[in-house]
Structure 1
Amino acid sequence: MPSFDLGESIPSDTAHAVSVSLPTWQANVGYEEGQQWVVDKMVTGYPRFFIHKSIQALASDITSRFGQPQQQAMLFPTRKTAQRCHSFIQDKAPKELQANLQIVDLVLSASASVPPVLRSISPSISAVFFVPDAFPIAKQYWQHSGDGVSSRRAEFCHGLLRDGLLVLAEPSQAPRSPGLANAKVFRGPRRYQRPASIDAVNGSNHHPATASQGAEKNGPAGQGSDTETIESSRFLEERFGRNLDLSLVSNAKSAIRRRIAGVLSGDVDLTTKLPTMDSTARGVSNFREDDIYLTPCGMNAIFTAHQTLLKAREPRKSINFGFPYVDTLKILQKFGPGAEFYGRASSDDLDDLEEQLKSGARFLALFCEFPGNPLLACPDLVRIRKLADEYDFAVVVDETIGTFVNVNVLPYADVVVSSLTKIFSGDCNVMGGGLVLNPGSRYYNSLKQVLNETFEEQNYWAEDVMFMERNSRDFKTRIDRVNTNAEAICDTLVAHPNVLNVYYPKFNDSRPNYEACKTPHGGYGGLLSCTLQNKEQAIAFYDALDTAKGPSLGTNFTLTSPYVLLAHYQELDWAASYGVDPSLVRVSVGLEETELLKSVFAKALKATEEATAEAK
């Protein structure tokens, strides 16, 4: 099993890793409390919580060029996304923190040296400038919405900015730093001399659009001979083409959508025509590829679903049904009329909801996970669908943990959302999300209209698309493997006397609800949780477990986390009130050999026996 030092990226030596190593229980506590011995060693973190260093570097450069003294910047892919952050700060921040709040847009230069294929991916950046004390408010928006730029986009655009190929969209957005505003910008093919990998460590220093140190200066951008311009354009196109075939981005998106639809599995040649889309895929009629929308991350899919429903229907409170992933509830609470929270997703909770509905309460939508995280309980979607049809609310189901290979929830939902960052990718090196409309939904036409008017496809960065498509080619076979491994680990845990509870769809009381949506050849997923007899045993178990340890799930390698500690450190008593033990350990099961995994967990369980003996 691989080992990772504190703060190291998971996977190792990966510039755009999605997870970070927190190998001991105390390291997780230190991270949550901001202790320097942990924070100072972190080279990365989960992208919505830890702003990638490449993004920080670009934000600093943009601020120095175009901002005012003492300002900071948060970066977004488009003007619309930046405007949403701007409005959030205006709404949530005190008046004194709204001083000098502004947006600056950077777009690709109109220079003839820029090849058309580069324009097709819209490498734009919009920066929201604010005073430093407003950063916590801006960070809330970044975390909850998932609207922020990806690290790959930041690296790519930073190179363009350095080369004078990323420029202000409007003259009115003039730089406020006269020295930099008057500085010469240089370009030319001889500057692109260093070979690079777009997934190399310290990628911000190795990029096809980044100047080599000491390169010859060819003169200000926009000047020079026609021959030089043609040469520069040709070189740019060849350079970008070698690292990322931009002409295939559209086909890559199509391949991802068809995998989400369940009509494409395995390898595919993106240069050829893709298989025909099955209009009855996912068990619904008239299903089309354009009913699937790709977003920068899973949380952005949830955010987009909520925003779309608010525009398509009369704005009302929503329902968060089941113990939530932390930001889902925050989205419903902070970006609309609010939320009704049912934390257990039980039959009693549904009874209470039905009584509210009978008494006249009306809601925008019910949001739930299938299964839930971290207790893996499954809501009764059959009954929820009946209530939704009778009382006119939409149903939004997050299938990230179940995955469409194991379960099919679309017939019961109006909208299905998923984090492609997880097992769909598996490699833990790229973010992505999916939003699927049910064409049979009574809200389909109104939702489609809003999305046609508001959805910005370019928000999902082209390089991330290409990595996601490549990673997901063996998605289905990986699911089968982790299903088998997860059941084997559960059997090992259940057999040990120090394990108090094992949470897994196969063993939970809500298993009938899972079975109602389980596909004919599906399993029970690759995520499980357990609790030990006491906190001391939980710490001993976690510290002794020889797996990767850090945030996220759905990785091709087994990844363990004291999930409640990480997700709800400031509200552990609240979590406990819904039956979620603060000492719970969550396991995302990988592709390792089954017998190896069983031995690794047996060894960690042995450590709990030793901890018990020492306590006596």
Structure 2
Amino acid sequence: MIDLDLGASIPPHTAHAVSVSLPTWKSNIGYEEGEDWVVGRMVTGYPRFFIHRSIQAFIADILDSLGRKDSKAFLFPTRQIADRCVSFVKTHAPPAAFSSLSTAHLVLDTTQPTSGALAALSPAISAVLCSQEAFPFVKQYWQHTGDGVSSRRAEFCHNLFKDGLLRLDEEGSVRTTQNVPTSPKPCRGPKRYQRPSSVEATKAAQSPKPAPDGDAGLPDLHETSRFLEERYGRNLDVSFVHPAKSAIKRRIAGALRGVSELTTAPPPEHEMESNSRGIPNLKEEDVYLFPCGMSAIFNSHRALLSARGSMKSVNFGFPYVDTFKVLEKFGPGAVFYGHGSEEDLDDLEKRLQGGDRFLALFCEFPGNPLLTCPNLVRIRQLADKYDFAVVVDETIGTFANVNVLPFADIVASSLTKIFSGDCNVMGGSAIFNPNSRYYSALKEWAEAGADGAGYEDTYWPEDVMFMERNSRDFASRIDRINTNAEAICDVLRTCPIVKTIFYPKYNTSRANYEACQLPGGGYGGLLSVVFHRPEQAVVFYDVVETAKGPSLGTNFTLTSPYVLLAHYQELDWAEGFGVDRNLIRISVGLEETDHLVTIMRNALETAAK
């Protein structure tokens, strides 16, 4: 892992890797500046900031088939999401930029004899086509919301498209060009899946879609899995997709399930009564899955706007970059409290006493990258008194260390991080607290479905299967990571060139963390360090023998000059909230503790010289 070349995937040789190697301080700056010596060598990148090569290839073929080679495009999993993107662009872009906007929807060709075997996956792609002028605005929607297609979905659907099994939905497409050709000539696939009569083809076309809450109505799952394996080289048994989702949801709820329990039969509901969340009436259907963590946050915001009406929100604490963008751009705006301190809460309380009302307060627990924790006890008291929702992003704390659900109306998380650990699949979740005063309205939004602008389950089945496998040992990994992180902190705290360590155990907000800490829970696997001199940070980063790139929560230690990557265009603004531009963030992995300590000491010694 430590010898990765610039631009290599992290993990190495992983087609759907979440991180990318930026091994020197200079290469991080080069990436932010868009310099070709960096960007040109990147085989992948963080999925909401880098358009995966498989997605780029699919876009090129779609544009070619539509006669729009000079256009740009982004891919989304449903037409409803694509339409929201178009609405966003029309709201934020100048008229000259969105005049060329159009959408194209690719759907399964049900006249093909193999379509019945594919129906269980519900493969579909919606493209938003735009000009170069509109491209930055479409990209904003794609990045902020996290609702773009995953690389696995794109890769799979691209193969269907090339085989003629995905076709342009003429009726549902809005286009600005005339005489647009449809998808390439259909390929009927292997002979074993061809049926000679039109009657049989009609039957395949009428195969029912899967029921939302189980496997009832699925086509022949054995044939589906065999078809996927033989035709597309996929290790994807679709009969286990729904049980895999169930297992993931129960792990998120703190009612862990082992692999031995992963069967097609639904687990007993009473199993949910005992969970680490401390909410006996929590049900599996209160946990919602999303294609990534930002999608979970964005859709939580959408749900609250639907449930409570259009009001400003509060962003409390220094935020992950896109969370604040969502609150700013998708609704009436937000009030920003960048320190997340008691003084900020005092000011918020004065606003509330003066008559200000808010939709929700969004916060992270702990925050990224300063690892400070808001006072959730006091926030909950204010929310109950002044009627606003509380949304807590627990990605960094993880439910194995802390329990924030009793203080929140919605708990969001990025499953991409430590829940997965393997850095090869994206995912997100949101829990609706059944004891929330807004619970009924939130559930009404969710049950409205896509046509009612409610919840859409767009989590691609292949990604589900990878996430389920990766997360089976989630709880056991946390203890090791907690131990390693504290050991690294001990080394850094005694080093004379280190100015500040940010870690929940040593921050001034430690009491707020411990108010939510579970018995036996640790302080997490993320820490940040600031050196006395900028050049010490540069040397430390360049020589530390860990993987170096974006993301966190990996099973291996991953180091990043986080502020450079997340806030390169606003470094002065970040420093106004105590976030040093030369801060280095370390996401601690599962390596042997002594080995990690040696790595850190060696890098510190070199930086000290």
Structure 1 counterpart of 2:215: none
CA separation of 1:163 and 1:520: change in aligned 2, threshold 3 A: same
Helix, strand or coil at the partner of 1:44: coil
C-alpha contact 2:414 2:428 (8 A) present in aligned 1:
yes
Which residue number in structure 2 is paired with residue 345 of structure 1? 340
Q: What is the alpha-carbon distance in structure 2 between the residues aligned to residue 392 and residue 230 of structure 1?
A: 53
The match for 1:475 is 474
Where structure 1 has 5 or more consecutive residues not aligned to the other structure, the ranges are 193-217, 611-616
Offset at 1:65? 1.3
* C-alpha distance in 1 between matches for 2:568 and 2:113: 52
**CA distance, structure 2, for counterparts of residue 182 and residue 58 of structure 1:** 12
Q: Tell me which amino acid in the other structure corresponds to 1:511.
A: R
What is the rounded CA distance, in whole Å, between the counterparts of 2:115 and 2:82 in structure 1? Answer: 27
CA contact (8 A) 1:553 1:588 kept: yes
Contact 1:378 1:514 in 2 (8 A): yes
Distance 1:350 1:456, change over 3 A: closer
Shift of 1:427: 0.3
Residues 541 and 223 (structure 1), Cα distance of their counterparts in 2 relative to 1, 3 Å cut: same
Structure 1 460/189 Cα, relative in aligned 2: closer, same or farther at 3 Å? same
Give the 3-state SS of the residue equivalent to 1:132 in structure 2: coil
The corresponding residue for 2:242 is 250
- Residues 319 and 225 of structure 1, relative CA distance in 2, 3 Å threshold: closer
1:38 maps to what in 2? Answer: 38
The aligned counterpart of 2:83 is 83
The aligned counterpart of 2:10 is 10
Q: CA deviation at 1:280?
A: 5.2
- 2:331: which partner in 1? 336
- Work out the CA distance in 2 between the residues paired with 1:49 and 1:385: 34
1:58 alignment partner in structure 2: 58
Aligned pair in 2 of structure 1 residues 365, 582: CA closer, same or farther (>3 Å)?
same
Q: Which amino acid aligns with 2:273?
A: S
Give unmatched runs, 5+ long, in structure 2. Answer: 205-219
1:311-360 CA distance string (max 9 Å, x none)? 11021110000000000000000001000000011111111111111111
Instruction: Tell me what 1:202 maps to.
Output: none
- Distance in 1 separating the partners of 2:31 and 2:169: 39
Q: CA deviation at 1:61?
A: 1.0
The secondary structure found in structure 2 opposite 1:586 is strand
Alignment of 1:106-505 (within 5 A): 106-111=106-111, 113-114=113-114, 116-171=116-171, 173=173, 180-181=181-182, 184-189=185-190, 237-241=225-229, 243-271=235-263, 273=265, 274=267, 276=269, 277-279=271-273, 281=275, 282-454=277-449, 455-505=454-504
Letter in 2 for 1:475: F
Which one-letter code corresponds to 1:483 in the other structure?
N
Q: Distance in 1 between matches of 2:172 and 2:349?
A: 55
SS in 2 for 1:403: coil
Whether the 8 Å contact between 2:55 and 2:151 is mirrored in structure 1 is yes
**Can you list the C-alpha shifts for 1:193-248, whole angstroms capped at 9, x where unaligned?**
xxxxxxxxxxxxxxxxxxxxxxxxx9xxx9888899999x9976513156200111
2:28 partner letter: N
State the match for 1:586 in structure 2. 585
Structure 1 position 70, deviation (Å): 2.5
What letter matches 1:169 in structure 2? D
Mean alpha-carbon deviation: is it higher for 159-168 or for 320-329? 159-168
Structure 1 residue 579, shift from structure 2 partner:
0.4
Give 1:188 shift.
2.2
Q: Distance in 2 between matches of 1:327 and 1:228?
A: 46
Asked if the contact 1:369–1:378 (Cα under 8 Å) also holds between the matched residues in 2, the reply is yes
Matches within 5 A, 1:519-558: 519-558=518-557
Q: Tell me the alpha carbon deviations over residues 349-378 of structure 1, each in whole angstroms, 9 at most, x when there is no partner.
A: 111111111111110000000000000000
1:458 & 1:117 partners in 2: Cα distance? 20
Is the CA contact (8 Å cut-off) linking 1:283 and 1:411 kept in structure 2? yes
Cα distance change on mapping 1:239 and 1:379 into 2, 3 Å? same
Q: Which amino acid aligns with 2:227?
A: R
Are residues 460 and 272 of structure 1, via their aligned partners in 2, closer, same or farther at CA, if it must alter by over 3 Å?
closer
CA distance in 2, matches of 1:442, 1:227: 52
Change (3 A) 1:172 1:566: closer
Q: Post-superposition shift, 1:170?
A: 3.4
- Return closer, same or farther for 1:314/1:186 CA change in 2, 3 Å cut-off: closer
Does the 8 A contact of 1:18 with 1:45 survive in 2?
yes
Look up the match of 1:566: 565
Question: CA 1:227/1:345 → structure 2, altered by over 3 Å: closer, same or farther?
Answer: closer
Distance 1:335 1:229 in 2: 43
Aligned letter for 2:278?
A: G
Per the alignment, do residues 456 and 352 of structure 1 end up closer, same or farther by CA in structure 2, a change over 3 Å counting? Answer: closer
AA matched with 1:261: A
Amino acid at match of 1:523: G
Contact residue 265 and residue 476 of structure 1 kept, 8 A? no
Counterpart-to-counterpart distance in 2, 1:491 and 1:160:
53
| SS at 1:458 equivalent | coil
Any idea what SS the aligned residue of 2:355 has?
A: coil
| Kept in 1: contact 2:241–2:464 (CA 8 A) | yes
The code of the aligned residue for 1:238 comes to R
CA positional deviation for 1:402: 0.2
Cα offset for 1:279?
A: 2.9
**Superposed CA offset, 1:470-494 (max 9, x none):** 0000000011110000000000101
Deviation per residue, 1:565-589 (Å, 9 max, x gap) = 1000011111111001100000000
Question: What SS is found at the alignment partner of 1:105?
Answer: strand
Task: Give the secondary structure class of the aligned counterpart of 1:319.
Answer: strand
**Structure 2 counterpart of 1:105:** 105
Q: Which deviates further from its counterpart, 98-107 or 414-423?
A: 98-107
Q: Structure 1 pair 285/26, CA: closer, same or farther in 2 (3 Å)?
A: same
Is 1:26 matched with 2:26?
yes
Alpha-carbon contact 2:225-2:236 (below 8 Å) kept: no
Quote how far apart the aligned CAs of 1:283 are.
1.1
Q: Distance in 1 between matches of 2:68 and 2:544?
A: 49
Amino acid at match of 1:438: N
Change (3 A) 1:140 1:67: farther
SS at match of 2:143: helix
Question: By how many angstroms is 1:178 displaced?
Answer: 5.8
Match of 1:195 in 2: none
Q: TM-score normalized by structure 1? A: 0.90
The residue matched to 1:395 in structure 2 has which SS?
strand
Q: d(CA) in 2 for partners of 1:362 and 1:174?
A: 40
Distance 1:173 1:309, change over 3 A: closer
Give the superposition deviation at 1:167: 1.2
Q: CA deviation at 1:495?
A: 1.0
**Distance in 1 between the 2:224 and 2:335 partners?**
53
CA distance in 1, matches of 2:102, 2:180: 21
Give the RMSD, CA atoms, in angstroms: 2.3
Secondary structure in 1 matching 2:147: coil
1:401 maps to amino acid: I
